[in-house]
Amino acid sequence: MAAKKKVKKKAVPRKQTTRRKSQKPVLFNELKKILVGIVILVSVCLIVAMIADLFFQPGRIERKREVVTKPLDKSNIKEVKAKKAVTGLKEKSDKSIRYEVFEDIDHTTVEKPPPPGKDHIPQIAIIIDDIGYDKKIALALCDLNSNITFSVLPFAPFGKDISGKLHAKGSQLMLHLPMEPVEYPDINPGPGAILSGMSPDVLIDQLRKNIRDISYIVGVNNHMGSKLTSHSDQMNQIFSILKKENLFFVDSRTAPKSQCKASARLLKLKFAQRDVFLDNFQNTEYITGQFKELVDLAKKHGSAIGIGHPYKATLQTLSRELPKLKNKVEIVRVSTLTAIP
């Protein structure tokens, strides 16, 4: 009987318990593998969906600003207005920003009378547009040459402060008048914009507000305006006010069919036109080439007007190139080169 009881103690139940215990880790491991596989599969699907969304819905991607590594074809030069400049947010001077967009700028050479004579020193005027956002670069550009002209955007966050300091240094100031571009409303010229849909009363009222916002101005040039400058009726309205305010106008030539010169002739307003944009690309090598083109045009025609912007690359280039002009080319205020057409 004792032997039988011992046999019963070594019975099957102990083996079954061991087998059950060994089965639990196996099942747990299998479930773990399945869960990991599901997680990996879901992750792969999400990544594929994101990639497909990027490639097949380009409208959701923010358009990248043009970079200097692109081939520099002057017939396709475009400047893109920085969103932060439009909305009035401050940009640091060391960041690559772009202020304006000119979709169809006029690239033709401005017709001018022959130079006065062999003894005449060629004259160039340099306008720096879009002043009102970066104090440091504006004042640094002023220190290069007191005859550099600065065009200030109305209602810019630092426009009044910067214009006061530039005036104290002896610089000539202009109003950089925002005007409707062809791309409006996708591209907004910013606060104080003159739009083609405005009635004459609204247009004139807005123009007068813009003029009052910037002190010490002696002239005006257009900010954007590829659409508005093509409308003779509205340019006549604008120039009639500028005539009363004794302000000249410089056409930035953002539209091939600009009516500015015709309106200036009609109203006998002092007028000039831009010859060269200096910094469509923020690259010192490119800007140097544009600056040399400006000087060559001045030597050929007696004078030329260049427009730049408060970019770090523009400051660097002018710092290097302006001293080379001593006794060869004279830098003058832009008012010197204006005349009734």
Residue 87 has pLDDT above 80, yes or no: no
What's the pLDDT tens digit per position in 289-301? Answer: 999 999 999 999 9
Asked if the structure places residue 1 within a domain, the reply is no
Task: Indicate if 143 and 169 belong to the same structural domain.
Answer: yes
Residue partners of 101: CB distance under 8 A and separation at least 6: 78, 79, 80, 81, 181, 183, 187, 224
Task: Indicate if 171 and 268 belong to the same structural domain.
Answer: yes
Task: Indicate if 120 and 54 belong to the same structural domain.
Answer: no
Asked if the structure places residue 10 within a domain, the reply is no
What's the pLDDT score for residue 34? 84
Residue whose C-alpha is closest to residue 241's, from 175, 318, 313, 153: 175
Task: Indicate if 131 and 48 belong to the same structural domain.
Answer: no
What average pLDDT does this structure show over 89-109?
47
What's the pLDDT score for residue 164? 97
Asked if the structure places residue 67 within a domain, the reply is no
Residue whose C-alpha is closest to residue 72's, from 253, 282, 276, 223: 282
What average pLDDT does this structure show over 219-224?
98
| 166 membership: H or E segment, kind and range | helix 159-168
What's the pLDDT score for residue 117? 59
What share of the chain in percent tops pLDDT 70?
72
Asked if the structure places residue 236 within a domain, the reply is yes
**DSSP alpha helix (H) spans, 196-321:** 200-213, 232-244, 260-267, 284-301, 312-321
Task: Indicate if 46 and 130 belong to the same structural domain.
Answer: no
Asked if the structure places residue 68 within a domain, the reply is no
Task: Indicate if 141 and 252 belong to the same structural domain.
Answer: yes
Instruction: Determine the structural domain holding residue 287 and report its residue range.
Output: 74-337
What's the pLDDT score for residue 22? 54
Task: Indicate if 85 and 54 belong to the same structural domain.
Answer: no
Asked if the structure places residue 328 within a domain, the reply is yes
Highest mean pLDDT among 2-16, 85-99, 200-214: 200-214
The Cα 104–Cα 77 span in angstroms is: 8
The Cα 104–Cα 116 span in angstroms is: 33
Task: Indicate if 83 and 38 belong to the same structural domain.
Answer: no
User: How far are the Cα atoms of 167, 199, 253 from residue 36, in angstroms, in the given order?
Assistant: 70, 67, 63
Asked if the structure places residue 4 within a domain, the reply is no
What's the pLDDT tens digit per position in 122-152? Answer: 999 999 999 999 999 999 999 999 999 999 9
What average pLDDT does this structure show over 205-221?
98
Task: Indicate if 100 and 211 belong to the same structural domain.
Answer: yes
What's the pLDDT score for residue 46? 78
Q: Which of 40, 61, 82 is the last residue of a domain?
A: 61
Instruction: Count structural domains, the chain.
Output: 2
Task: Indicate if 40 and 103 belong to the same structural domain.
Answer: no
Task: Indicate if 57 and 157 belong to the same structural domain.
Answer: no
Task: Indicate if 34 and 100 belong to the same structural domain.
Answer: no
Q: Which of 36, 61, 86 is the last residue of a domain?
A: 61
Asked if the structure places residue 2 within a domain, the reply is no
